[in-house]
A and B are shown apart, each in its own frame.
Chain A
Amino acid sequence: MLDPIFIKVLLGTLLLAASSSVVGAFSFLKGESLVGDAIAHALLPGVVLAFILGDGRNPLFLIFGALVAGLIAHYGISFLEQRTKLKGDTAISLVLSTFFGFGIMLLSAVQRTGLGQQAGLERFLLGKAAAITLSDLYVFAALAVVLLVSVAVFFKGFQLMTFNEDFAAAIGLPVQAIRFVFTILTVLAVTVGIQSVGIVLMAALLITPAAAARAWTSSLRLMLVLSAVFAATAALVGTVVSASLPKMPTGPWIVLALGGIAFISLLFAPEKGWIARRKRAKGNQLKTQRENLLKLLYGAEEREGETVAMTSETIVAMRRQHLDGLRKTLRSLKKEYLLVERPDGFALTDKGRTEGRRVVRLHRLWELYLTERLGMAADHIHPQAETMEHIITPEIEALIVKELGNPELDPHQSPIPYEED
C-alpha cells in the first residue's frame, strides 16, 4: 500500500480536496452553498462534450469543457433568478437536473462506442482516486495550487464581497470583477474537487468542511485553514479505503468522513457547539434563578426592616418554582456564602445582601430609565426590567446612573438602593 505511486495519488487527492473546500468556504458564508452543487452537476455535459469533440486523453481539454459548462450554468442560474419569476431554489434545481440529464444522455452515447469506459469518464460521477492517472493528477494538483494562491491574493476582496458587498462597492472595489474571478475559481474548484469525490457528492466538499470549521472559529483566515485540514483528513480516509477495498469508490467515504467531522464539530466545539450552547443556557438560567432568589429575600428585608429567613416551602409558594430547581439554586448560593441556613429557614449573608441589593438597584434603575427616557407607562415596565436586571453590566449601570443624574426613587416611588461606602 505504501508504494510511491499510491503516496503520490494520496498527496494529490489531499491537495484537491483541501483547495476546493477553501473556495467552498466563501460560498458557504455567502449563503450560496447549493450553487456549487448545481455547477458540479452541470460540468458533466461539458466534460463529455470535450471528450467527444477534443482529445479525450488530455486533461486540459476536460478542464476547458468543465469551465465553459460551469460558467453557463452559473450565469443561467443568475439569469433565471433575476429575470424570471422563478425563485432561487427552483433556478438551482432546474439547471442542476437538466444539465446533468443532458450529460447522462451524452455519456450513454459515448459508452455505446466503448471509448468512455476507456477514458474513465465514469470516475467523474462518484470519484475514484485510484483510477486517476499520474499525469492527470499533476495537472489537477497544479490547478489546486493555483486556486490556493488565488485565494491568498484576492483574500481581501473576497472577504469584503462575502460579508458586505455594498460596502465593498462604496469604497471603490471593482465588485463585478471580483465576483467574476470568484465565479471562475468556484468552477475550477468544483472541477478539481470532482476528481476526488465525484459530481454527485461535490456539494459535501464545498459545504461540510466549512460548516464544521465555522463551529470552531469566527476568524475567516482560521476558518479557511480548518476547512482545508478537515477536507484533507477526510480525503485521507477516502483514499485509503478506496485503495484497500477494490470496488469501493472514493467519494462516498470522503463524504461520510466529512459528515463525521461536522457532526463532532457541531456538537462539541467550544462556544458554538451544541453542548457548549446548552451549558451556557443552563448557566444563564441558574444565574437568573440565583439573582431572583436574592432579590426576593432583599425585598422582604426591605419591607420588614430586619433580617428575614424563609423556608424553602415559603419560597416555593411565593415564586411558583419547582422544589428540585429551588434546592439546586439554594445549594449553589449556600456554597458561595450568599445565604446561610438557619433553623427558621434561609437568610442573606452580608455578601448575599450586597448582591440582592445590586439586582434590585438594576431593576429599579432600568424601570426609571424606561419611563424617563423612552416614555413608557409605569405599569408596563416591570417585565422588561425583570430581564434586564440580569444582563446589565457594572459599566452600563454606571452610564445609566450618570445619565439619570444619581436618581433617588424609581417610578413606583421605591428608593433605589446604592452601596453605602
Chain B
Amino acid sequence: MIPTLAIALTAVFTAVSCALLGAFLVLRKMTMVGDAISHAVLPGIAVAYWLSQSRASLWMFLGAAAVGVLATVMIEVLRKNLKVQGDASIGMTFTTLFALGVILITFWSDSVDLDQECVLYGEIAYVPFNSWSMGDLNMGPIALWSSGLLLLAVLGYIFVGYKGLKLSSFNEDYAAVLGISVAAWNLSLMAMVSFATVVSFESVGAILVVALLVVPAATAYLLVEKLHHLLMGAAFIALVAALGGYACSRWLDTSIAGTIATLLGVQFLIVLLYQQLILKRNHHAVA
C-alpha cells in the first residue's frame, strides 16, 4: 500500500472515531475525564508491552481499558470517599497514573520499545513500517487495521446505544425515569474512550488525543443544536483537520499530530469568529 495513503487513512479513522465519542463528552461536561483517561492509560500500556513484548496485542487493549476504568473509579473514590473536590480529583488521578507510566517505561526502556517521545508526540509517520502478515500475505500496516476497527466499533456503539446515550447526555432525570441507567452509559462511554485512546496513542500521542476528542465536537457545538448534526459536524471537522493537517505537516516538515491539533485550533478560531461577528450581528439586527 502507498505509505502516504496508509498514514492519511489512519489519521482520518482515528480522528473521526475520537470526534464522535468526544461529542458525548462535551454534552456531558466530561471532557476533562476524557483528558484524564487519555493520560491514565499509560501505565496499562507499559505493563502490557512489558508482559507481551509486542505492540497492538490483545493484552495492550485489555490493560489499557482496565486502567482507563480504574482511573474513572479513582476519580469517584477521591471525590466521594476522600472528599476531594471534583476537578482536583481529576487532576490528582491522571498526573499520578501518567507519572507511574513514564517511570515504568523508563525502567523497562531496554525491553519495552516505547519511549517518552512516542508517548508525547505519537509516531504516525512510522505507521507504514509496522505491518502484519497472515502466512505469506502482507496485510498492510497494523495501525491502519486497528484504527479502522476502532471506527467500526465506535459507529456500532453509537448506532446501538443512540437512544440511551442521547437521553442520558441531555436529561439524566428523564433518562432515569425511563429506566435508562445513566451510570452504565457513563461507564461504557469511558470504556470506549479508553479503547479509542489506546488505539490513537501510537499514532498521535497521549495528549493530542485530547485535541481530537474535544475540539471537533466543541467547534460543531458552536454551530448546531441537534445531536445528529453535532455528530456529523464533529466528524466532518475531524476529517478536514486530519487530511489538511497531514498535508500541511508534509509541506512544513513538522510533527503530524501537532499539525493536526493546530489545524483543529485554527478551524475552531474561524468558526468562533464567524459565530461572534456574523451570527451575533444578525441576532442584534433581528432584535
Contacts and interface: CB of A to CB of B under 8 A. Distances in A.
Interface string A208-225: 101100000000000000
Contacts of A274: 81-82
Q: Is the interface of A mostly helix, strand, loop or mixed?
A: helix
A147 interface: no
Interface residues of B, number: 61
B210 interface: yes
B261 A98 contact: yes
A175 interface: no
B31 A90 contact: yes
Given A98-B211, A98-B215, A98-B262, A90 B96 contact: no
A22 interface: no
B120 A90 contact: no
Given A31-B87, A100-B207, A204 B92 contact: yes
Contacts of B276: 83-84
A100 B208 contact: yes
Given A100-B208, A200-B120, A204-B95, A94 B255 contact: no
B17 to A, nearest CB: 16
A208 B208 CA distance: 24
A86 B221 contact: yes
Interface stretch (B99-107, B189-197, B230-238): B99-107
Interface string B73-90: 000001001111111101
10 contacts: A89-B31, A96-B210, A104-B121, A201-B95, A247-B109, A249-B106, A252-B102, A253-B99, A256-B103, A277-B83
Given A94-B218, A204-B99, A206-B91, 15 more contacts: A85-B221, A88-B29, A90-B31, A93-B213, A97-B215, A101-B208, A104-B261, A109-B254, A200-B39, A200-B120, A201-B99, A203-B91, A204-B91, A207-B95, A252-B102
Interface of A: 28, 31-34, 37, 41, 80, 83-90, 92-94, 96-109, 112, 125-126, 200-201, 203-204, 206-208, 210-211, 245, 247-249, 251-253, 255-256, 258-259, 262, 266-267, 272, 274, 277
Interface of B: 26, 29-32, 34-35, 39, 78, 81-88, 90-92, 94-96, 98-100, 102-103, 106, 109, 116, 120-121, 205, 207-208, 210-211, 213-215, 218, 221-222, 249, 252-255, 257-262, 264-265, 268, 272, 275-276
